[in-house]
Amino acid sequence: MIDVVIFEGNEAHSAVEEVLICARRAALQDNLAKLLSLPEVGRVFLSTNQPEIAALAGSEVHIEMNEAAPADFHFGRELLRLVQKHQMQAVLCLGGAALPLVQREELADACRRVLEKQGRYVTNNVQSADMVAFNPAEVLSRHELPATDNALVLLLRYDARFEQNLMPTTLGTQFDIDTPSDLLVLADSPFGGPHLRKALDEMQLDTTAVRRLKDVLKSNYPDVAMIGRIGAPAIARINHNFKVRLRIFSEERGMKALGRLDRNEVVSLLGFWLEEIGPDRFFSYLEQTVDAALIDTRVLFAHMKEPLSDADRFYSDLGDYEKVHNPFVREFTRAATQSKIPVLLGGHSLVTGCIWAFVEEIGCLI
């Protein structure tokens, strides 16, 4: 049997962060129900810095309180500690809100594949991993411990030389809750388990921009811009299901997994251009070029090399520019929100999992 380790540790400093935490807790409850129902799963451990989550998890889940501040948390050290403390043989690890739409059978298949063979790992993404299962777990003790789950995949593939098994690319394996823009897309969709749907309904989010974007996708051969860490699967998914003309500008794929963000090495050609012309002219040109845009803003924000709070990023995702403190992000968000075309701002998941959500919901209608 395989042991499951779930990491869920957050610290809210603003109202918008509280909203995201609320959604993450709801998604966690839905996923716990799936995992606990699998015969392939032995024990389920929840590592958290939030005592109140224990009541939500239920008696079947082993709670491991983590006293480290979020800034001091080290993924690899904590995972190895749990592996050794509980003598785990095979382990599946994921974040508390990771893969909120994954199907029970998809989880079961990943567990079975890992249990079949030592020296193998299963993940949903080569670089931006939200879930990783591997066997044997003690491999962690033989290598430099990864700071993130993304780095764990690279360790297993290149350092440990484990056999890589990728989960099929589906809505369940691609969609993640990282930012409020993911919540906007979910709120205007039929997807999600009972706890998550209830939480989204209570939030009463403004999904006007999402609905406008979907109207564009339903039309005949509109021009749609995708900007940020755009991968080939998302491009192929849109081209195969929608009658669109894509304008792609892809930069800095793997910036987190490769440590470029932490080392302050992110650079963006569009970022340089924005510095030259400013957000108003940028969106003026964009309006003359496309009918809608999805922008992974994290590349542009990282290029600016200014300290940026989670609250500023998240309020930007929601279009609440008046609540953003950083001058550039505030002006960029204002210009995007006031644009004549629908513009969605978000993180990497906006141009990955959200694409799968759009296709699953409306792709069959065109």
Q: What is the reported pLDDT for 12? A: 85
DSSP 304: T
Using an 8 Å Cβ cutoff, are 146 and 134 in contact?
A: no
In this structure, the chain runs to a length of 366
Q: Supply the pLDDT for residue 10.
A: 76
**Do residues 354 and 178 touch, judged by C-beta distance below 8 A?**
no
Pairing of strands 245-250, 223-228: parallel
Question: How many other CB atoms sit within 10 Å of the CB of residue 201?
Answer: 11
Report the pLDDT value the prediction gives residue 366, as an integer from 0 to 100.
52
259 sits in the region (left: phi over 0; alpha: psi -120 to 50; else beta) called left
pTM over 0.85: yes
- How far is 268 from 227, CA to CA, in rounded Å? 11
> For 59-94, what is each residue's pLDDT tens digit?
899 999 877 666 678 999 999 999 999 999 999 999
310-318 and 15-36 are packed helices; what angle lies between their axes, rounded to 10 degrees? 90
DSSP line for 239-293 = HHHS--EEEEEE--TTTTTTTTTTTT----HHHHHHHHHHHHHHHHHHHTT-SEE
The contacts found for 85-90 with CB under 8 angstroms, 24 or more apart, are 86/3, 86/43, 86/45, 86/62, 88/3, 88/5, 88/137, 89/3, 89/135, 89/136, 89/137, 90/1, 90/2, 90/3, 90/114, 90/115, 90/133, 90/134, 90/135, 90/136, 90/137
Closest by CA to 7, choosing from 35, 46, 43, is 46
Q: What residue type is assigned to position 278 of the chain?
A: G
Question: Mean pLDDT of residues grouped by 10 in the chain (366 residues)?
Answer: 92 92 94 96 92 80 80 89 97 94 97 97 88 97 90 93 95 94 97 97 96 96 97 93 96 90 96 97 98 98 94 98 98 98 96 95 70
